[in-house]
Amino acid sequence: MSATTKKKHVTKEVLEEFPLPDWSRKVVMVTGSKGNNLHEVKTPTGEVFLVSMPTKFRKHVWIKRGDYILVDPIEEGGKVKAEISHILFKEQIKHIQEHGKWPEAFTDKIANPVEMIPQDLLPPSGDDDDDSSDDLADLVVNLNRVNVSQVQSDDSDDDEDDDEDDDDDEELVPAPIKKNIVAAKKPAQQVTVRGGQKVTAKESS
């Protein structure tokens, strides 16, 4: 059986089965994930313990804090005292309530139970997962490139602004003063005396 076909079977089972709690099968609320397919749950009486995710649900259906599930006890269980048998969604919860078997302690906690399995609870296939990882990597690279380009652009703008400021400063200097400034910047000419006349270095050459 392919992974896609298996996921369809699991999804159908989760949505179309309407189980009821009994003397051993209990309704509990998920309070957190502990990793390694273990989840912390709380009973209507406030007891907290760990439950395990069965193989058929792994990598096909995910649960999160605040979800309701049915669990079967594990005989001689230590820290892990039960195994998840069903994940309860809106229609399943309604079905249990109609039969008068929903725990009163959880009644006030039900706000807007989901009507079906949300997409974020269904993990993507292997190919899609690889594509998503590639897209994320590309996104990071592209963002870095944008940042570098922006920095270079800002530096260029600063240089242009400095050049413009220099030009503006020159335009503010009056023409006579500017002429004197330019003349002052020219190198001094050497002057010698020949036959009682002053001769510059240029003329003497």
Q: What is the pLDDT of residues 44-55, one digit of tens each?
A: 999 999 999 998
pTM, entire model: 0.52
Report yes or no: 7 and 21 within 8 Å, Cβ to Cβ. no
DSSP for the chain, written as a single string: --HHHHHHHHHHHHHH------SS-EEEEEEEEEETTEEEEE-TT--EEEEE--TTTTTT----TT-EEEEEEPTT-SSEEEEEEEEE-HHHHHHHHHTT-S-GGGGGG-S---SS--GGGSPPPHHHHHHHHHHHHHHHHHHHHHHHHHHHHHHHHHHHHHHHHHHHHHHTS-HHHHHHHHHHHSPPPPEEEETTEEEEHHHH-
Report yes or no: 38 and 80 within 8 Å, Cβ to Cβ. yes
Question: What does the pLDDT look like over 98-135, one tens digit per residue?
Answer: 999 999 999 876 654 544 444 444 444 344 444 433 33
Q: How confident is the model at residue 78 (pLDDT cuts 50, 70, 90)?
A: confident
Sign of CA dihedral 101, 105, 111, 117: negative
Q: How confident is the model at residue 196 (pLDDT cuts 50, 70, 90)?
A: low
Is a pLDDT exceeding 80 seen at residue 96?
yes
Residue identified by tokens 């159908």 is 12
Higher-confidence residue of 112 and 146: namely 112
Q: How far apart are CA 180 and CA 79, in angstroms?
A: 94
